[in-house]
Amino acid sequence: MKRVAEIVRPDGDKPADDMKVLERLMVAVNGLGRDGQRADAVRLVRAFTAKEIIGQLFCQRAMRFLRVFAEPRQFYDEVERYRGRFGDDEFLTGLLAEPMP
């Protein structure tokens, strides 16, 4: 996916650290949202969370986004992916206890 490469390696150089990537991802996602491309924004976030090298904090922020903007099935697929990687931690328990938007 071209957008992923542009976010991870904006200059074609070595990959940026997780927080820089997360920053650029959120800018891209917000832009897509403003342009009415919500499904594209969700696909882009899910492309990142599917990667094993993406850290837990990054995934937690992505989960918060997906909870609001993804279709319920997509969100619960991400819940299972998160659970498989990080277990049933306090973050996931708290997130699932909140009422759905």
Looking at residue 100, what is its pLDDT? 83
- Residue identified by tokens 């542009």 is 6
Q: Which two tokens stand for residue 86?
A: 């990080």
Q: Which H or E run contains 63?
A: helix 56-69
- Residue identified by tokens 């820089």 is 20
Q: Which two tokens stand for residue 61?
A: 């922020």
Rounded (5°) CA angle 81-35-53: 25
Looking at residue 40, what is its pLDDT? 92
* Domains parsed from the chain with CATH numbers: 2-97 (1.25.40)
Looking at residue 16, what is its pLDDT? 67
Average pLDDT per consecutive 10 residues, the chain (101 residues; last block may be shorter): 76 72 86 90 90 86 92 94 94 93 82
Q: Which two tokens stand for residue 72?
A: 């319920």
HSE value, Cβ hemisphere, 13 Å, CA-based, for 24: 16
Looking at residue 67, what is its pLDDT? 94
